[in-house]
């Protein structure tokens, strides 16, 4: 699995941690606004929903009320590590789809081939 996100200690809040994207592993070159939005999009959430999720489910602290992009700070522990693993898993699905755009078509072919084999048996003229 390619690591697309990592947990780093905040330079502005020692003892607090942030989930940061690894730009070169996730093909990130340009953002309109904030790279913090990426985590929300991977989870299929709005940024506000993402902030509430981090606060309510992961015990995060939100800093920057009434700013355009508040920042999420976590305590180091199991919850932030589990969230980072989840984000990496979802990012890897996106990378897989990017590198294998015909995957669904191939999966359908394999499924049909398997159905044909189960109907006609293993090695025969119909599944070559």
Distance CA 110, CA 126 (A): 14
Residue (of 72, 64, 62) closest to 39 by Cα position:
72
* Buried residues in 74-85 as b, exposed as e (16+ CB within 10 A): beeeeebeebbe
Q: Show the tokens assigned to 72.
A: 């999420």
Close Cβ partners of 57 (under 8 Å, ≥ 6 residues apart) = 79
pLDDT digits (tens, 9 = 90+) for 84-107: 999 999 999 989 888 888 877 777
The answer to whether 60 and 54 are in contact (CB under 8 A) is yes
pLDDT beyond 60 at 123:
no
Beta-bridge partners for 72: 62
Distance CA 121, CA 44 (A): 43
Lowest mean pLDDT of 30-34, 61-65, 110-114, name the range.
30-34
Look at residue 120 in the predicted model and tell me its pLDDT.
57
Mean pLDDT confidence for 2-18: 94
In this prediction, residue 61 has a pLDDT band, given cuts at 50, 70 and 90, of: very high
């Amino acid at each position: 699995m390619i690591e697309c996100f990592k947990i780093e200690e905040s330079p502005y809040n020692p003892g607090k941690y942030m989930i940061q994207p690894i730009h070169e592993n996730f093909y990130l070159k340009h953002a309109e606004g904030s790279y913090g939005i990426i985590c929300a999009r991977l989870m299929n959430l709005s940024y506000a929903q993402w902030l509430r999720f981090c606060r309510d489910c992961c015990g995060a602290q939100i800093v920057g009320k009434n700013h355009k992009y508040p920042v999420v700070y976590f305590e180091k522990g199991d919850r932030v590590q589990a969230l980072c693993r989840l984000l990496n898993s979802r990012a890897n699905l996106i990378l897989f789809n990017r590198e294998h755009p015909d995957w669904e078509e191939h999966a359908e072919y394999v499924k049909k081939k398997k159905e044909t084999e189960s109907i006609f048996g293993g090695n025969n003229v119909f599944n070559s």
